[in-house]
Amino acid sequence: MAFVNENYFKLSPSYLFAEISRRVETYRKEHPEKAASIIRCGIGDVTEPLPQACIKALHKAVDEMAVRETFRGYGPDYGYEFVRHAIAGEYRERGMTIADDEIFLSDGSKCDCANILDILGGGNRILIADPVYPVYNDTNVMAGNSDVSFLEGTDENGFVPPPPGTAADVIYLCFPNNPTGAVATREQLAAWVAYARKNDALILFDAAYEAYIRTAGIPHSIFEIPGASECAIEMRSFSKNGGFTGLRCGFVTIPKTALGKRKNGTLEAFHPLWARRQSTKFNGVSYPVQRAAEALYSEEGRAQVKDLTDFYMRNAKLLREALDKCEWQYIGGVDAPYLWVKCLPGKTSWDMFSFLLENVCIVSTPGSGFGKMGEGYFRLSCFNSRANIEEVCRRLSTLKVA
Ligand code: MLT
């Protein structure tokens, strides 16, 4: 009989958002009369249609696939040059030196965050901010990485923990942060790059929400920090800026100058390892989807991304105003589509989840699902229709906070 991966038994039995869906489904079954009133502010899933530029590109690409002369089979393993060039071009416009072939297309950032462990050796000392996107920790547990420490995000440090006094080999950072919506300043990121360089560590930087940054001067990419291309890999997604959660596309940026080491001490670049990994395990993103991703970088596409993200940020503003009126304590919603809200006194974050579901039919995400430091908080997602967000604001205003 085949042995199973023992590491899976160290995980909580279900993934955070699967557990939320399960609980909401149970509640719907038990209270069918309330099913239609449930508003989902849990998982950060987009609700608005794709930008028109993408729709046009998709239609055109599908038409090309219908004709022998323009039909395409397998694409290049790392993505078509047209989209890699568009992505790297945007980095370059922002003053970073990223080459087209340092971009690797994928079917989304969640997979990249998980798969990147394929090119990292065992025995690394891993640092993960807490609270944070649960995929980082869960995938390290699955891989059997046992030396994992957590950086404590607190009210005091604004959920942007500083580098610790001890050394690590791999650091996961996510800014704008999921779940807290906190952003890191240039100085804060520079401190992380300095730490990584001093300790020969690698930063895995998740920038899935960079399109929501509205405050001038906040870095959109780790590569805005001098020296980062020697010690960082960046993960980016089209899910939240282009509304691709159902279309699936993202990318990893791996500068050829980012190095790790072999057991014998020889320095090696991560770039060829990821190239080898992708060409063996991945057959690329579909041609129409890559054309849709490319369209996000056209003049029309950029304007539509701005409109789309502005729409969700307007939702964030409405939610902030509603929370302010009721004197709820929260952070976020300024440079990110999430609000990180303090639980009512005496309630754990799962208590709060049940309280909101049962009393006002609002689905939230319990903070403890993002790590130990998330206990005492819950997350509200701003990805929703305007009508739903207005209704959420109205319902929140009916709750007694103190
Ligand atoms: C979230 O709600 O945290 C995200 O939507 C999850 C994801 O992007 O995978």
Domain 52-299 top-level CATH class: alpha beta
Cα(337) to centroid of ligand 1, in Å?
11
Cα(276) to centroid of ligand 1, in Å?
28
Cα(44) to centroid of ligand 1, in Å?
5
Q: What is the pLDDT of residue 14?
A: 86
Main-chain phi, psi angles of 380, to 5 degrees? -110, 130
Cα(402) to centroid of ligand 1, in Å?
30
Mean pLDDT of all residues in the chain? 97
- Ligand 1 atom with the smallest distance to the CA of 133 is 3
Cα(27) to centroid of ligand 1, in Å?
22
pLDDT value at 402 more than 70: no
Q: What is the pLDDT of residue 400?
A: 74
- Ligand 1 atom with the smallest distance to the CA of 365 is 2
Q: What is the pLDDT of residue 177?
A: 97
Average pLDDT over residues 9-27: 93
Mutation test residue for ligand 1: of 19, 21, 178, 383, the one with most atoms within 8 Å of CB:
178
Model pLDDT for residues 190-242, shown as the tens digit of each residue: 999 999 999 999 999 999 999 999 999 999 999 999 999 999 999 999 999 99
Average pLDDT over residues 144-153: 96
The two tokens of residue 191 are 């401190």
Model pLDDT for residues 229-288, shown as the tens digit of each residue: 999 999 999 999 999 999 999 999 999 999 999 999 999 999 999 999 999 999 999 999
Average pLDDT over residues 153-181: 97
Cα(45) to centroid of ligand 1, in Å?
7
Mutation test residue for ligand 1: of 17, 24, 363, the one with most atoms within 8 Å of CB:
17
- Ligand 1 atom with the smallest distance to the CA of 239 is 8
Q: Residue 360 in contact with residue 378, Cβ under 8 Å? A: no
- Ligand 1 atom with the smallest distance to the CA of 179 is 3
- Ligand 1 atom with the smallest distance to the CA of 42 is 2
Mutation test residue for ligand 1: of 43, 137, 340, the one with most atoms within 8 Å of CB:
43
Main-chain phi, psi angles of 151, to 5 degrees? -95, 125
∠ CA 281-285-290, nearest 5°, is 155
Cα(184) to centroid of ligand 1, in Å?
20
CATH 3.40.640.10 occupies which residues in the chain? 52-299
pLDDT value at 74 more than 70: yes
Cα(218) to centroid of ligand 1, in Å?
22
Q: 387: which residues sit within 8 A by CB, 6+ positions away?
A: none
Smallest CA separation from ligand 1 atom 9, residue: 110
Mutation test residue for ligand 1: of 15, 45, 111, 370, the one with most atoms within 8 Å of CB:
45
Residues with CB under 6 A from ligand 1: 43-45, 110, 133, 178
Model pLDDT for residues 289-310, shown as the tens digit of each residue: 999 999 999 999 999 999 999 9
Q: What is the pTM of this model?
A: 0.96
Distance, CA of 51 to CA of 305 (rounded, Å): 7
Cα(4) to centroid of ligand 1, in Å?
28
CATH topology of domain 14-49+302-397: Aspartate Aminotransferase, domain 1 (3.90.1150)
Average pLDDT over residues 31-36: 95
pLDDT value at 5 more than 70: yes
Smallest CA separation from ligand 1 atom 4, residue: 44
Q: Residue 349 in contact with residue 388, Cβ under 8 Å? A: no
Q: What is the pLDDT of residue 13?
A: 82
Cα(74) to centroid of ligand 1, in Å?
29
